[in-house]
Amino acid sequence: MATDLLDDVFGESEDHPSDHPSDMRRLRSQHHTAGYRDGYIKSKTTSIQTGFDEGYSLGATVGLRAGQLLGVLEGLAEAVEEQKPSPSSSSSSLQQLLRDARRELATNGVFTPEYWNADGTWKYEVGARADKPAEEDGETVFADVAEAHPVVRKWRRLVEAEMERCGVRWDVFWRGEDEKGT
């Protein structure tokens, strides 16, 4: 019986039973498993990093917007407090508004399952805003997602109303951005 030196080291045939040690199947299985695991880990690492980068940027954009709104309210509350040393209804209502905003615009108020899917996508409608035309290519950008967030949208309206009542303009707070701070 002649042995073919080019025969597959893992293969057997009826004509040529394997003369290899019995651990060849175990080795083949180990290499197959190791190769699968290495490929899986490499692809998972790449996917996780991409997902993290995108999620971090989106979260930062939403968080920044919430923080800007809180900052404006805090500034208004402080200014009203300084203008009227005695407690007034205007000052106390602004302080209550600020307490509510701090609670609702906090991380656990903005980043809840009510607004976000497990994969990090948003559950609420995001579209062109009246004060800003949609991107020419129709692409949604993180600023659009942040502005469309129901809690951010609610507080933007409330902050704008307070600013108008106090005679404060947006451009004082957001220099270099458009008039509405976007």
- pLDDT tens-digit map of 37-82: 777 677 666 666 666 777 889 999 999 999 999 999 999 988 888 7
Give me the percent of the chain exceeding a pLDDT of 70.
Answer: 67
Estimate the share of the chain in helix, then strand, then coil, as percent rounded to the nearest 5. 60, 0, 40
Check residue 46 and give its pLDDT: 65
Q: How far is CA 12 from CA 17, 99, 157, in A?
A: 5, 76, 75
Dist CA 152 CA 143 (whole Å): 11
Whether the pLDDT of residue 95 is over 70: the answer is yes
Segments making up each domain of the chain, as ranges? 59-172
- The contacts of residue 107 (CB under 8 Å, 6+ apart) are 63
The mean pLDDT value for 91-114 works out to 92
Q: Residue 11: which pLDDT band, with cuts at 50, 70 and 90?
A: low
CB 155 within 8 A of CB 105: yes
Dist CA 106 CA 113 (whole Å): 14
Residue type at 13? S
Check residue 2 and give its pLDDT: 59
Residue type at 54? E
Give tens-digit pLDDT for 148-172: 999 999 999 999 999 998 888 877 6
Q: Residue 182: which pLDDT band, with cuts at 50, 70 and 90?
A: very low
Residue 177 parent element (H or E): none
Whether the pLDDT of residue 23 is over 80: the answer is no
Query: CA dihedral defined by 181, 178, 127, 138, rounded to 10 degrees?
Result: -140
